[in-house]
Structure 1
Amino acid sequence: MAFFSDTDSVKPLKSVRLRPRFTALRSIGALILREMNTSYGRSPGGYLWAVLQPLGGILLLVAIFSTGFRTPPLGNNFAIFYATGLLPFFLFQDVAGKLGMSLNFSRQLLAYPRITFMDALIARFVLNTLTQLLVSYILLYAILSLFETRTTLEVDRILMGYAMAISLAIGFGVMNCFLMARFPVWLQVWSIVTRPLLLVSGVIFLYDSIPEPYRGYIWYNPLMHVTGELRGAFYVSYEASYVDPLYVFGLSLVLTVFGLLFLRRYHKDIIFS
């Protein structure tokens, strides 16, 4: 007659519990590799274009405004001024856009039971967020090394600014993931709505220079708080007292929660429609 110890009975249970987690990690890893191949592996230059796009935007703004103004609204260097506005803006735009297309991009793979919509969201979020953070580091480091910007970096505020940008990208991206998959027309609506964002998000002009009552309206644009926090992190003299991280994180949380609830309820209908 065979007897089993307590440890013998626990080991199988642990392996059963850990197996779904390992499967999820393996699925996310495979989706990340697929995303890297399709997004950056098919075009000449690959990841180089991820750096050249924001670099081109910064150079264009520097070329335009340096011809008409002696100095930017803050400091004495146009490149660092526009970089602190454009880089978090591009992060938000890229990550939110990629998350919004997660279901449509991986629709065929999501038909397999081992791959969930959360795997697709996490894979796209991890890859594109890390890519944009690396691009920001490369460009900011290059500008600070090449020019005398006369800026003083506050690392805690830089981290806060990027945390706000990432949280907004998650919130809008998850909600858009549902809306774009459920209502295809929302893709066109979103592209139209976001076109003027560059002008009303503090990238080109400071919040303080906008006259009332428009300044009060633009305060509700959460990206204005992101650029304000980044500018305050680089320019000691700029207080950016209008920045409210609680508003940004609260809005992001609401959008994320409702987006996930809608996806959980309707993702099967979307995938198999």
Structure 2
Amino acid sequence: MSGITFPSMKKTAPEKGKPRLRPVHKQRRFASLRSIGALVLREMATSYGRSPGGYFWAVAEPVGGIMMLTLIFSLGFRTPALGTNFAIFYATGVVPFVAYNNIANKVANSIRQSKSLLAYPAVTFMDAMLAKVFFNVVTQLLVAYIVFTFIMVTQDTRTDPQILGIALSFLMAFTIAIGVGAVNCFLFSAFPWWQQVWSIITRPLFLLSCIFFVFDNVPDIVKPYLWFNPLVHVVGQMRKSFYTSYQGEYVTPVYVFSLGLILMVIGIALLQRYHRDLLNS
């Protein structure tokens, strides 16, 4: 028995010159990070690389649009529902709305716009979605910073911005945007007609998200229905963060986060199950 050596007891040294293999999960993680980085650079190049100024226009376009609308509506509405300055009142509503709308639309079209790249095994649909989220979240935060800073510096807004409250509002907006975008990413690819339907049914959203008014002033008969619009809570949280005297008791972050996460799970589950069929269709 002393001359028998069991395989489990035999010590073997690694062959010289043969590299050790890294764990598969680490390789996949680094590959995903490289893919996401490449997709972010591709987004910048394809969207703004051909125009002079490049990424500058990714920020300048929404900033210019928001500032133009702010100026126009400031001339027509002298007295806002909160405070004394209409520009900051309008900005606290339209900035988070634009952030939601932009990210939701970009995520919804992430698979269709990256369809050629998703044919490669190294690139997954999650890489495409995360690249869209990262690029557009950074862009929308820059837009918000420029718009709010410009208004605060040039006008007497009589507001006291609270950074943590503003961050919470944006986190709510990003969560619901990614959730809606994930579900629509599947629906837009599986049923192309749904994009036109979605565009029609969400067109009144700009007026129904309390951008021009506050939820407290809505007639009681409408309040129970309007409350279910998650953007009402996003805008309400943003205004609570600028107007310290505004209570905004209707704002329920748990509702927005829960709805956003549920939609994310549903959207990702559908894409995980059918993304190959969508790419081949």
* Alpha-carbon offset, residue 108 of structure 1: 1.0
Scaled by the length of structure 1, the TM-score of the pair is 0.92
Residue 53 of structure 1 is aligned with which of 50, 58, 62? Answer: 62
Which structure would you say has the larger Rg? 2
Give the equivalent residue in structure 2 for 1:178: 186
Scaled by the length of structure 2, the TM-score of the pair is 0.89
Give the equivalent residue in structure 2 for 1:245: 253
- 1:58–1:193 CA distance, 2 compared to 1 (3 A): farther
- 1:221–1:174 CA distance, 2 compared to 1 (3 A): same
Matched, 1:63 2:64: no
My pick for the range that moved more, 11-20 or 29-38, is 11-20
Give the equivalent residue in structure 1 for 2:13: 4
Give the equivalent residue in structure 2 for 1:109: 117
Q: How does 1:133-152 map to 2 (within 5 A)?
A: 133-152=141-160
Q: Over residues 59-98 of structure 1, what are the superposed CA-to-partner deviations in whole Å (9 max), with x where a residue is unaligned?
A: 324423533x432111111111111111110010000000
My pick for the range that moved more, 39-48 or 220-229, is 39-48
* Alpha-carbon offset, residue 193 of structure 1: 1.5
Q: Secondary structure at the match of 2:177?
A: helix
Q: Over residues 124-172 of structure 1, what are the superposed CA-to-partner deviations in whole Å (9 max), with x where a residue is unaligned?
A: 1100111111111111111111111110111111111010000011100
Give the equivalent residue in structure 2 for 1:230: 238
Q: Over residues 182-241 of structure 1, what are the superposed CA-to-partner deviations in whole Å (9 max), with x where a residue is unaligned?
A: 110111011111211110001111111111211211000000000000001000111110
> Given that residues 174 and 256 in structure 1 are in contact (C-alpha distance below 8 angstroms), is that contact kept between their aligned partners in structure 2?
yes
Q: Secondary structure at the match of 2:158?
A: coil
Give the equivalent residue in structure 2 for 1:23: 31
Q: Secondary structure at the match of 1:169?
A: helix
Instruction: Determine the C-alpha separation between the residues in 1 that align with 2:51 and 2:200.
Output: 27
- Partner amino acid, structure 2, of 1:4: A
Q: Secondary structure at the match of 2:20?
A: helix
User: Which consecutive unaligned segments of at least 5 residues does structure 1 have?
Assistant: none
Matched, 1:206 2:214: yes
Instruction: Determine the C-alpha separation between the residues in 2 that align with 1:62 and 1:144.
Output: 14
> Given that residues 89 and 223 in structure 1 are in contact (C-alpha distance below 8 angstroms), is that contact kept between their aligned partners in structure 2?
yes
Instruction: Determine the C-alpha separation between the residues in 1 that align with 2:142 and 2:163.
Output: 16
- 1:123–1:233 CA distance, 2 compared to 1 (3 A): same
Give the equivalent residue in structure 1 for 2:40: 32
Q: Over residues 17-49 of structure 1, what are the superposed CA-to-partner deviations in whole Å (9 max), with x where a residue is unaligned?
A: 422221111111111111111122234554335
- 1:149–1:142 CA distance, 2 compared to 1 (3 A): same
Give the equivalent residue in structure 2 for 1:168: 176
* Aligned-residue CA RMSD (Å): 2.0
- Equivalent pairs: percent with the same residue? 48
Aligned residues: 268
> Given that residues 67 and 147 in structure 2 are in contact (C-alpha distance below 8 angstroms), is that contact kept between their aligned partners in structure 1?
no
- Partner amino acid, structure 2, of 1:60: L
